[in-house]
Amino acid sequence: DTVTQTLFDQSKEKIEFVDEDENHPEPIFDAWGEDCDLPEWLHPLFTVEKNGHKVLDQKETTILASPLLVSTIDYLIAAGEPHRQGHHVKALLRVMSSDLILDEVDGYEPKALIAVLRLVQLAAMYGRNVICSSATLSLTVAKTIHRAFESGMQMRAALYGTEKKSIIAIIDNELKPQVWLERSNQKSEFNTNYQKHLDNLQVHLLSKPTHRLAQLLSLPETTVLSWKQSVLEGVKQLHQEYAWNFKKTEKKISLGLIRVANIKHAIRLAQFLSDHLPEAKIACYHANDWLISRFYKEQRLDQLLTRHKDGKKRKTGNEQIEQDDEIIDLIQKSNSLNIPFIVIATPVEEVGRDHDFDWAIIDASSVQSIVQTAGRVNRHRLEKVQQPNIMIPQWNYRYCERRDIEKLKQQSKQRRPVFVYPGYEGYGSSVTSTYSSQDLKELLPWDHQSQLVINARLRFDQVNCLFAKHDDQQIGNFCQNYFNDQGEQLFSRSDVDASIMTENIYNLTPLRERNYQETYMFEWTNSLIVKKQVYGFDEKATKTLKYPKYGLVWDLVKFEEIPAKPQAWLALDPQQMKDYCYEYQIANEQGCRISLTPYNRDEVPTWSYDYGFGVMQK
């Protein structure tokens, strides 16, 4: 995404932070590499036409020839998709000539994981090293990854007609590493060794200080209103427990995170809390936001929530917050002595955001979502805690929403998956099958005080944590159809299944679902003008070319407009967004743009734009 890259590059130039010695930070370089000479037989793959001449595409050749490539996985994924033809060959050339490092490998949902594991299999077949990193890698996912690598080594052995060896290592910052040699013609010891590693890790984590302690948040009724009211009470309790005096004044603040599963739920919760917490400052962080607005929020959150302590100038970790002009201004203008700053976020906050909140409330979708979100609490300061700094509602939002719909339609109670979109319930079997319980009071191993220490151990503990057991069963049931040591294992069986030569199996396991998206942009001249990108008659191009021209054009549409509430925080109004586009040197048409996924492609969606909290479908 060139627009996002431009914003990132511009923001680096504007950084004004200094280190503890008052030095300006050293510049960060992007090494694009010199012009690369490729073998002539590869030139047809990288030739493009410019101004009537055929030339080599230097950007594409650099991607192939650079010694080190850091990228999203989207470019490489085509290596494991033969039907992508030219795209497949280019990505395959990179994979077959490079070692592969995959970060947060268990962050992919099962379909996407299979797509990623095709890369692991190919890398092994070409004799490359593969590193998969994660703090929460369960046995189910780990052995699926290993099976993909093992099958690649077996393919390599068959190709060369000789035994192949590989070194397997389990490396953890908490334990001594395990390293052993495997042979392609012998039974692997990986599953046994990895289970021993998890057993030792769980014992070790029991002795560690408590940094994240969760409390069960009971609901008097299984309704959305009851859920919201319980979250409201949870916010008040957590703020009271973890608020701190701002710059030695009487005013207390805290920075909290509320994780919800879906965008509509996030916006509605933000509106509800705004109505009941007049003193709060509330930000909504999700994908349904104008590009420049989301960039601004991410930049501000990165600044405020970096809270490392060094014992010198950063004694508490709150210094960056206390020196922030916007925060100072908001607190000075507030008449309240207690001001909670709340970020309501969808799963975009779970992975890749290096943020440190004082507390969190987690609307659970999976045990992974609980552990990952909890990792954003007390992340840098690592204070030892005695009182809960996390709360988990007894029932998730989707469960309560289902009960409300049944009451409205006067239907009897039906068991349907609620840990979905995201989540794994019903994933590896019938889509209507459900977990034995959907009550978080039963799914998680609470103590007699309804409290629970949260660390990576929770993700691995299938004996005591029913949630982890159910999630792994669903993941395993799905993955065994593609990579396993028995059963279907379509991609890893020795007697190759003919289906892998067809396009369908790859379409069933894509990296990303090809959801239909609509692109919108806005213009602002004292009022909001929204346009939708459609295929139609291009009047401007027709006048220039002197013949009818069709293509992507902009059509006027109407968004329902909801004024921003006074509690809205990190919310840019349309004029401010235009100003930021100018500051970061990108066109309004690019920065003031949004991509939205309607629920039903066959219906014309109606969109609501809350000026404080973002866009949602009505």
Express each pLDDT in 260-290 by its tens digit. 999 999 999 999 999 999 999 999 999 999 9
What's the rounded Cα separation, in Å, for the pair 23 and 368?
40
Kindly tell me if the per-residue pLDDT of 19 is higher than 90: no
469-498 pLDDT, tens digit per residue, is 999 999 999 999 999 887 788 999 888 878
Residues in contact with 92: Cβ distance below 8 Å, sequence separation at least 6, in sequence order: 78, 79, 122
pLDDT over 50 (residue 448): yes
Q: Determine the 3-state secondary structure of 501 from DSSP.
A: helix
- What SS3 state is found at 101? strand
- For residue 18, name the pLDDT band (cuts at 50, 70, 90): very low
pLDDT at 20: 37
**Predicted TM-score (pTM) of this structure:** 0.90
Contact 304, 357 (CB under 8 A): no
Which one-letter amino acid corresponds to residue 609? Y
pLDDT digit string, tens, across residues 162-182:
999 999 999 999 999 999 999
Q: Cβ contacts of residue 404 below 8 Å, gap of 6+?
A: 223, 224
HEC string of 213-277 equals: EEEEECCCCCCHHHHHHHHHHHHHHHHHHHCEEHHHCCCEEEEEEEECCCHHHHHHHHHHHHHHC
How many residues appear in the chain? 618
Q: Is the peptide bond before 422 cis (omega within 30 degrees of 0)?
A: yes
Q: What angle do CA 535, 615, 610 make, to 5 degrees?
A: 135
The answer for 261, left when phi > 0, alpha when psi is -120 to 50, beta otherwise, is alpha
Which amino acid type is present at position 447?
Answer: D
pLDDT digits (tens, 9 = 90+) for 310-319: 888 889 999 9
Residue 72 is predicted with a pLDDT of 84
- The string of DSSP letters for 330-379 reads HHHH---SEEEEEEEE-GGGTSS----BSEEEE--SSHHHHHHHHTTBST
Domains and their CATH numbers in the chain:
68-207+476-508 (no CATH), 213-462 (3.40.50.300), 518-617 (no CATH)
- Label residue 105 left, alpha or beta by phi (over 0 means left) and psi (-120 to 50 means alpha): alpha
Does the pLDDT at position 536 exceed 60? yes
Contact criterion met (CB below 8 Å) for 453 and 210: yes
Distance from C-alpha of 213 to C-alpha of 370, rounded to nearest angstrom: 12
In this prediction, residue 117 carries a pLDDT of 96
Closest listed residue to residue 602, CA positions, set 514, 513, 534, 516 = 516
* Cβ pair 396, 440 in contact under 8 A: yes
Q: What is the mean pLDDT of the chain?
A: 90
pLDDT of residue 430: 64
72: helix, coil or strand?
coil
CB 482 within 8 A of CB 490: yes
